[in-house]
Amino acid sequence: MTLGVEQERRRALRQSERTRLDPFVVIGGDASPRDQRDLMERPFFSLSKSPRTKPILYKANDIEVQVFGMPEHGMATIWDADVLIWAASQIVRAENLGLATSRFFRFTPYQLLRGVGRPTGNQQYLLLKAALARLQSTVIATTIRNGEHWRRRQFSWINEWEEMSTRAGRVEGMEFVLPDWFYSSVIDRSLVLTIDPAYFRLTGGIERWLYRVARKHAGRQRHGWVFEFAHLHAKSGSLARVSDFALDIRRIAARQRLPGYRLLVERKGRAELLRILPADPSTVPVNNPVNRLGRSGAKSIGRTGAALSAEQAHPPQLNPRAERQSLTANLESNRESNSSALTHAHESRGASAEFRGPVRNTVGSSPISTTSSAEEESAQDTCDVDRREKSKRSKR
């Protein structure tokens, strides 16, 4: 029996991608958290800790995202995505140091858990293995970056993974292989963004997802970004009803816990809008212990909109202020990211049209810091020039 197992293992190794790839051995030290832009913008993960097998089917213009979870494990969750954020962070850091990288990762569980601010005990190690199982069993099909001769790419978040242990059972390390679709997008620096280390301390699924949306779209633009609630619901892939989803968004806005951003709930006619504005970024280190990787099916965390959800655990603490006019809707950068109603209003009024009308905010409107990196400031200057040129043409 032992001989048969060993023969099977050797056969698997011959078929493994690891035999054709040079290992990327993760070095010590902290890496600034990096996230992949496409994962921040579109629904690739379950937002619930309860096992999800219902597929995510998302389409906007020529972009399609389909995500399928297996019944044995369920779909990969937004907490499992911390593994991919850690991997992207390690790749970027190594390349900044002039080191060679690879899709074939070799690391210790301690390095990964510490990198995403989690405790490093045995329980967390078991939860990490469950996360890796979900990442491997989840199947993604998408047309994003499909290339000249491709219509759709299909892959899993992790092609294969293995733990390395001694004969006594002591785990000495782990290995996994990332899909080429993800690895290629991290190597392309234009598709990677830094994120606040405080992100790992966010506990709610919608809260974590909303931060990634804010970082991707609002960035450090002075006027931020505006979304209709219904459009946010479609982008999230959430199984919750729109009304329950909207309730969670309002409560997140009331609590103001997104690191680096302020949220304003506004109304335009019958449409409810969320304005995301940049604020001072957090400087709290990531190596403080945070809530552990969620156990799939945990009963202490309800579905979105349920009575025990993270967003509903505290009563809303609204701070209504005087009515004011809304700022200009930011609509030119990515039409897919804006609601159809906002886009149509923008097209009918011209590029410099303002989103006018009295609104009531759920939070104060104190001055916002717009500190940004040189790269982002340069990109923002280019956007501002484009907006001025469009404004001039519309006036002509």
Long-range CB pairs of 13-21, under 8 A, 24+ apart, other chains included: 16/160, 16/177, 17/103, 17/104, 17/159, 17/160, 17/177, 18/104, 18/160, 18/175, 18/177, 21/102, 21/103, 21/104, 21/177
How much is the pLDDT for 229? 96
What is the rounded CA–CA span in Å between residue 124 and residue 4?
32
What is the rounded CA–CA span in Å between residue 63 and residue 192?
19
**Cα Rg, the chain, nearest whole Å:** 22
Per-residue buried b or exposed e for 156-185, using 16+ beta carbons within 10 Å of the residue's own CB: bbbbbbbeeeeeeeeeebbbbbbbebbbeb
Strand order in the sheet with 271-278: 225-228, 271-278, 261-268
C-alpha 289 chain-centroid distance: 21
Residue indicated by tokens 């505006």: 226
Per-residue buried b or exposed e for 242-271, using 16+ beta carbons within 10 Å of the residue's own CB: eebbbbbbbbbbbbebbbbbbbbbbebeee
Residues of the chain with pLDDT under 50: 1, 283-285, 287-335, 339-393, 395-396
How much is the pLDDT for 222? 87
How much is the pLDDT for 338? 52
What is the rounded CA–CA span in Å between residue 370 and residue 223?
9
How much is the pLDDT for 148? 66
Q: In terms of Cα–Cα distance, which of 167, 128, 111 is closest to 292? A: 128
How much is the pLDDT for 160? 92
What is the token pair recorded at 48?
């619930």
| pTM score | 0.71
How much is the pLDDT for 166? 73
Q: What is the DSSP string of 166-194?
A: -TT--EEEEEEE--HHHHHHHHSGGGEEE
The three state secondary structure string of 93-114 is HHHHCCCCCCCEEEECHHHHHH
Q: In terms of Cα–Cα distance, which of 210, 182, 205, 196 is closest to 83? A: 182
Run of H or E including 325: strand 324-325
How much is the pLDDT for 343? 41
Q: Which residues pair with 163 in a beta bridge?
A: 174
How much is the pLDDT for 295? 46
CB atoms within 10 A of CB 299: 9
CB atoms within 10 A of CB 106: 15
How much is the pLDDT for 285? 47
Q: Which residues pair with 59 in a beta bridge?
A: 64
What is the rounded CA–CA span in Å between residue 85 and residue 185?
12
**How many C-alpha atoms does 143 have within 13 Å on its Cβ side?**
9
Q: In terms of Cα–Cα distance, which of 259, 220, 204, 221 is closest to 33? A: 259
What is the rounded CA–CA span in Å between residue 369 and residue 44?
31
How much is the pLDDT for 3? 53
327: left (phi > 0), else alpha (psi -120 to 50), else beta?
Answer: beta
What is the token pair recorded at 174?
């782990």
